[in-house]
Structure 1
Amino acid sequence: MTKVFVNYMTGDEENVAAMLDEHLSDRFDSKVFFRASKSIPYGDDFRPALLEAVRASDALLAVIGARWLADAEDGRRRIDREDNWTRREIVEAFDHGVRVIPVLVGSAGALTAEVLPPELARLAYCQYARLGHRNLAGDLDLLAAKLKELVPGLTEKERSAEGAHVVNNAHGNAKIGIQGVVHGDPSFDFGGKP
């Protein structure tokens, strides 16, 4: 099965990595996307699971925010440590011919080879995607479209109007109404009432 590995640095946009995984999984298929905290069962040894998942992937999305190159508590940059899993996953991808796509988040600037450890210097030359708050929906759609072009076998889920239910809740004299689409649960109420 097609696999896209979602790589991120703890302490740097891990919420964006989770959101990205959720958005793409909803659009394509959740089994296609590998993100450690979602994909590795509790109690399993994460070390071989991560490296095997990278090697089995067609692409690795390296989520990079403004703190990706930040120092750890001891003053050394986390990415410079050979035991850093973000680094190990990207190196593993390069070593096994997996396409690496940097996904720059917010104000994160493009990386240069000079600021990266030698093993990761190639990352500076990988064409990147960008996710910004001003055009997040458009950026996500563009990334999804590009992934569909680049990753063999990646197909979008079919959407049916029958599977979607519209919920519109405006309680009392509320000046704010919330309308949303809820898949599979027509009794869902944003106010917590069935």
Structure 2
Amino acid sequence: MQQSLILEFSIVLVILIGLFIFLWKKKLFSKIRKKSSLPSKESELNTKQSTKLIHKTSSEEKSKVILKIFLSYRRDDSSDITGRIYDRLVQHFGDGNIFKDVDSIPLGADFRDHLDSAVSKCHFFLAIVGPDWLYARDDDSTSYLNNPSDFVRIELESALKRDIPVIPILVRKATMPLGNTLPESLKPFIYRNGISIRPDPDFHNDMDRLMRAIEHHLPKNNL
């Protein structure tokens, strides 16, 4: 009788021990699984760094696009709206792809050659034409465009002699000049198809049209 009780007690004890071990292992496995599902600080750091790298790469890729745009404008005529146009182009195509102001011309250098060289590096030439672009005059009442040394004239002449798109950008309700109002070297300009960039609320829609037109000229692998 005593041996039977001992045997039953032993069986119950073994069952309890087995149950305890089973529950202990289950609890331990649950902790391990929960811990492995949580990202470590190192993993989070790597993820953040990867995200930053992606954004940085995306930003750098804009400046690697094979595209250079030259903005020609007359400061007294359209400097403020040209600044807005420049900002939108930079935002879309990247800072390194847009030329708005030619760097300081070195002392002793021929400024005509310097301007011509700057234009020669560009794939698109945007001529910002405001209401005073044609009629701006110097102190002697001579039209700037009739002066062969005028920077805007030199830039436009340089662009017209090259096989690149020359796009008139009409601002402040300006219209295209007539052929008889331009020097002979600039007359081909009147045949270039242009676009009006209007003030708000139409500014951004007009800029979108301009940028789509520029992208149309680019190879697909550059977009």
Q: Distance in 2 between matches of 1:153 and 1:90?
A: 28
Q: What is the correspondence of 1:144-159 to structure 2 with a 5 Å cutoff?
A: 144-152=211-219
**Greater strand proportion:** 1
Q: Distance in 1 between matches of 2:69 and 2:221?
A: 10
Q: Distance in 1 between matches of 2:162 and 2:193?
A: 18
In structure 2, the partner of 1:18 is: 83
Match of 2:193 among 127, 152, 155: 127
Task: Answer yes or no: is 1:140 the counterpart of 2:204.
Answer: no
What do residues 78-119 of structure 1 show as CA deviations (whole Å, max 9, x unaligned)? 111100010101101111222210000021012221111111
Larger radius of gyration: 2
**Greater helix proportion:** 2
Q: What is the correspondence of 1:12-161 to structure 2 with a 5 Å cutoff?
A: 12-36=77-101, 40=103, 44=106, 47=111, 48-70=113-135, 71-134=137-200, 135-152=202-219
What do residues 52-76 of structure 1 show as CA deviations (whole Å, max 9, x unaligned)? 1211111100000000012222111
Assess, with a 3 A threshold, how the Cα gap between structure 1 residues 151 and 89 changes in structure 2: closer, same or farther: farther
Assess, with a 3 A threshold, how the Cα gap between structure 1 residues 103 and 10 changes in structure 2: closer, same or farther: same
CA contact (8 A) 1:55 1:98 kept: no
Query: Does the residue aligned with 1:36 lie in a helix, a strand or coil?
Result: coil
CA contact (8 A) 2:134 2:177 kept: no
- Give TM-score, length-normalised by structure 1: 0.72
Shift of 1:49: 4.1
In structure 1, the partner of 2:73 is: 8
- Give TM-score, length-normalised by structure 2: 0.63
Q: Give every structure 1 segment of 4 or more consecutive aligned residues whose post-TM-superposition deviation is greater than 3 Å.
A: 42-46, 151-156
Aligned residues, how many?
153
Assess, with a 3 A threshold, how the Cα gap between structure 1 residues 153 and 43 changes in structure 2: closer, same or farther: farther
Alpha-carbon RMSD across the aligned residues, in angstroms, is: 2.1
Assess, with a 3 A threshold, how the Cα gap between structure 1 residues 155 and 111 changes in structure 2: closer, same or farther: farther
CA contact (8 A) 2:197 2:207 kept: yes
What do residues 153-183 of structure 1 show as CA deviations (whole Å, max 9, x unaligned)? 7956xxxxxxxxxxxxxxxxxxxxxxxxxxx
Q: Distance in 2 between matches of 1:24 and 1:102?
A: 15
Unmatched segments (≥5 aa) in structure 2:
1-65
Q: Distance in 1 between matches of 2:193 and 2:166?
A: 9
What do residues 105-152 of structure 1 show as CA deviations (whole Å, max 9, x unaligned)? 021012221111111001101001111115111111111111111245
